[in-house]
Amino acid sequence: MSPRVGSRVRRRITIVEDGRVRSRLDYLAAEEPMEIRVMAGGVHKTVAVTMRTPGSDFELAAGFLYAEGVVTEREVIRRIAYCMDPTVDAEQRYNIVTVDLHSAELPDLATLERHFFTTSACGVCGKASLDALENRGCMPLPPGPTVDASLLYALPQRLSERQSLFKSTGGLHAAALFRSNGDLLCLREDVGRHNAVDKVIGWALLHDELPLSDCMLLVSSRASYEILQKSTVAGIPIVCAVSAPSHRAVSVAQQFNATLVAFLRGERFNIYAGEERIVVGEADSG
């Protein structure tokens, strides 16, 4: 039997309800550490350890490295693989992912030192500066596309219908990538909202879909600075969240000409930046 942990695990739990106690088996969202290594010229270095839900691990590693500027295009990646070193405990081999680059030596990884341990909840801790994006050469997003408000109303339900792991565990975030016409391109789940976004962006990188200039990103969580940072680097013009945005997320959206929609629930949402991309009915200034 493979020692690899799946996306969910089964555990016996005790349920207390209306004064009665019963026992049953239940599914829990798996949470395992994943070490991301970068290799070049036969030398490798660990750049991050994140707590994630196993699954789409190569996309997670690729998306993380792309969002951080270590990988700039698909062609620089030679291959992505799990650790098969016989000296490593078999239970941990699927928790180590190495991204092998074509370059003769490792790129400058100094900016990634803060990631040596990243929890599934906090994402990229301690980085809250718009200068970081500007210094990497990120430019404001070009105009367009425009989408109708009625299309946005339908997105949360479509996301919910496709969250298979959430339905069985109740403990996962999701990120979904849609074309501006509403076609679903990719959906990924994870205990970490930032990991879910990295998986989606990694999918796009590995499938040569970047930049995502005709796409919308929907997250099942709040919109944080890190999520807007990642979406901006990927060229996503419209970001929607079912919960609240942070003030730094709004700042990123405003500075880089992204559209930020939050509290997208039912037939209601708030636009915090880039309202010109959303086609709505008669405006109420009250």
The confidence score (pLDDT) of residue 184 equals 96
Among the residues of the chain, which ranges form H helices? Answer: 57-67, 130-135, 149-162, 164-169, 193-206, 225-233, 247-255
99: tokens are: 């991204």
**Amino acid at site 215:** C
32-122 and 147-279 have identical folds: no
Which whole-number Å values give the CA distances from 106 to 43, 66, 97, 101, 110, in the listed order? 7, 15, 16, 8, 11
The confidence score (pLDDT) of residue 125 equals 39
Grade residue 87 by pLDDT with cuts at 50, 70 and 90: confident
Topology of domain 147-279, per CATH?
Cytidine Deaminase; domain 2 (3.40.140)
Topology of domain 32-122, per CATH?
Ubiquitin-like (UB roll) (3.10.20)
Please tell me the distance from the alpha carbon of residue 188 to that of residue 172, in angstroms, as a whole number: 10
Percent of the chain exceeding pLDDT 90 equals 58
Q: Where are the domains of the chain?
A: 32-122, 147-279
Q: pTM score, two decimals?
A: 0.87
Give catalytic residue positions: 122
Residue range 139-160, pLDDT digits in tens: 899 999 999 999 999 999 999 8
Residue 59 has pLDDT above 60, yes or no: yes
